[in-house]
Structure 1
Amino acid sequence: MNEEGYKKLCRFDELKEREGRRFIVDETEVAIFKSNNEIYALSNICPHQHTTLIYDGFIEDGFVVCPVHGWKFNLKTGKQPKGQNGLDNFPVIVFEGDIFVKVYKKEMQW
């Protein structure tokens, strides 16, 4: 794959449905999830307590729920239902069975 800036993370079939995994890409914490056979990539750092456990959250109605305190984040956008601090979301490409993500540096807002 020749898309500039994308990094290979893992094989699509390595992820179980409704499962998250943690990766560090260019020093950025990334959580990826498989839900309804789609792949989503979000920041793995919760804006509430700055824990790096988002990947370990559970999937519920299109949201990932933080396992530490229960905040919900939209899998597609990273936003919370009530508009509080959200998670960065990252572009994902699945190509020939491999998952690629493009990360960017962003200043933390806390």
Structure 2
Amino acid sequence: MKTYTLGQSREEVIGLFPERKIKQVLLGEQKVCVVRVGVDFFAFEPYCPHRMMGLREGWVTAYDEVVCPLHQYRFELRTGKVAMGDCRELICYRTSLEEGGLVIFI
């Protein structure tokens, strides 16, 4: 397992990620989507497992689900489980907001 740290402080990371706005980042050679909900951060694979649509174009619901913009498949951000649709689960990565930044475990 590899770890990557974004930012240099909690405050900086919170400022880098506007509430519920999905951003794509490059960690090493791997693209990952990251979204902030309050002070919780979620990291997940960048493409919908159904038809490989880019999830950074999607949105986050009030139920903390990411929605694919193509067919509106929904995935729980905490687990990657399919909330609506018929495909495999979304790969999610553990995150930890620390004093030195946001740590993502790949």
Q: How many residues align?
A: 99
Letter in 2 for 1:7: Y
Letter in 1 for 2:51: Q
Structure 1 segment 20-35 matched on structure 2, within 5 A:
20-35=22-37
Letter in 2 for 1:25: L
Q: CA deviation at 1:97?
A: 5.6
Which stretch of the first structure deviates more once superposed, 10-19 or 37-46? 10-19
Partner of 1:55: 56
Query: Using the alignment, how far apart are the partners of 2:49 and 2:59 within structure 1?
Result: 17
TM-score normalised by length of structure 1: 0.78
Structure 2: gaps of 5 or more residues: 8-12
Identity of aligned residues (%): 23
Instruction: Give the SS at the match of 1:64.
Output: strand
Instruction: Give the SS at the match of 1:91.
Output: strand
- Tell me, yes or no, if the aligned pair for 1:57 and 1:64 is still in contact at 8 Å: yes
Letter in 1 for 2:73: W
Partner of 2:10: none
- Tell me, yes or no, if the aligned pair for 1:12 and 1:98 is still in contact at 8 Å: no
Which stretch of the first structure deviates more once superposed, 69-78 or 92-101? 92-101
- Tell me, yes or no, if the aligned pair for 1:13 and 1:97 is still in contact at 8 Å: no
Q: CA deviation at 1:84?
A: 3.4
Partner of 1:70: 72
TM-score normalised by length of structure 2: 0.80
- Tell me, yes or no, if the aligned pair for 1:78 and 1:86 is still in contact at 8 Å: yes
Q: Which has the higher contact order (CA 8 A, sep 6+)?
A: 2
Q: Does 2:85 align with 1:85?
A: no
Structure 1: gaps of 5 or more residues: 104-110
